[in-house]
Amino acid sequence: MSRIDERFRSCRAAGRKALITFVTAGDPEPGATVPLLHALVEGGADVLELGVPFSDPMADGPIIQRASERALRHHVNLKAVLRMVAGFRTRDQVTPVVLMGYLNPIERMGYEAFATAAAAAGVDGVLTVDLPPDEGVEFVAALRARGLQAIFLFAPTTSAVRARQICDLAGGFVYYVSLKGVTGAATLDVTDVGARVAAIRDLTDLPIGVGFGIRDPETAARVAQVADAVVVGSALVAAVERLQQDAARIPDELRRYTGALRTAMDAAPATGSSCP
């Protein structure tokens, strides 16, 4: 059983929803990333999403775009991100790590070489924002051959045909993008999210995570009532940005904020599925 599958299994056994946290690798500087990942776990994160910096992060709003820019100024590339994951694994062998980014750096490395290196570093899953499922068969095969899981996005506009393709290829969990637009945008309609998550449940037995637009513990708690996992990114990256000139304070701030998310989610009334 993969680390991702095991973590969702343990969530289900404990009757709680998973908290997935996102930060950008190398932000605000490369040496900060591994301590930040540990701080997130200490705060209550169940799964870690680690953003691979990219020069044209088209799915991301200004907050995460600026995080990529800060990391790229330090020459953080895909190989550097894998070294960070390996560094994290020296202390933590159980928390799942999902790389989230764009296809170009992976294509430059080559599917087989990337999958081999990612597995060796301790990566568990890969979410490539700009890889449509009908073009992802070769890449997914390379991942699966090395025990890695491919995570795919559902959008509010995803067609029925595309949704079935996603479910055929996906592993670990599926990620429902709760808003039309980029990360950190707009205001979340949790009632609508619940209806769309219910429709996705008809297509897959995988856990369903919901992200984009979750700005605070209260919203996280509401989403936890309709999804199996809550994904929080921009709010955490904003904290990193706010404290970038006082980087020693960042781990404590992320630990505190993650703890607030975890507490709110655990206090939410138990409804819906819990990590099926």
- Segment 202-247, tens digit of pLDDT: 999 999 999 988 989 999 999 999 999 999 999 999 999 999 999 9
Asked, for residue 273, whether it belongs to a domain, the answer is no
Phi (first) and psi of residue 231, to 5 degrees: -110, 125
For the whole model, what pTM was predicted? 0.94
Q: How many domains does the chain have?
A: 1
- What is the average per-residue pLDDT within 92-100? 98
* Catalytic one of 27, 49, 241, 253: 49
- What is the average per-residue pLDDT within 258-276? 78
Q: How far is CA 220 from CA 40, 45, 94, in A?
A: 16, 13, 24
Residues 22-43: pLDDT tens digits?
999 999 999 999 999 999 999 9
Residues 104-144: pLDDT tens digits?
999 999 999 999 999 999 999 999 999 988 899 999 999 99
Q: Are 100 and 50 in contact (CB under 8 A)?
A: yes
The one-letter amino acid code at 263 reads T
Asked, for residue 172, whether it belongs to a domain, the answer is yes
Asked, for residue 90, whether it belongs to a domain, the answer is yes
Asked, for residue 182, whether it belongs to a domain, the answer is yes
Ranges of beta strands (E only) in 218-275 are 229-232
Residue 182 pLDDT greater than 60, yes or no: no
Neighbours of 4 (CB within 10 A): 24
Is 107 one of the catalytic residues?
A: no
DSSP states of 108-149: HH-HHHHHHHHHHHT--EEEETT--GGG-HHHHHHHHTTT-E
Average pLDDT, the chain: 92
Asked, for residue 274, whether it belongs to a domain, the answer is no
Asked, for residue 276, whether it belongs to a domain, the answer is no
Distance CA(103)–CA(98), nearest Å, equals: 14
Task: Give the model's confidence band at 187: pLDDT under 50 very low, under 70 low, under 90 confident, else very high.
Answer: low
How confident is the model at residue 184, as a pLDDT? 46
* Catalytic one of 27, 60, 124, 228: 60
Task: Give the model's confidence band at 58: pLDDT under 50 very low, under 70 low, under 90 confident, else very high.
Answer: confident
Asked, for residue 272, whether it belongs to a domain, the answer is no
Is 49 one of the catalytic residues?
A: yes
How confident is the model at residue 227, as a pLDDT? 96
User: What percentage of residues in the chain have a pLDDT greater than 70?
Assistant: 94
**Token pair listed for 24:** 């950008």
Q: What is the CATH number of the domain that holds 94?
A: 3.20.20.70
Q: Domain residues for 91?
A: 3-267
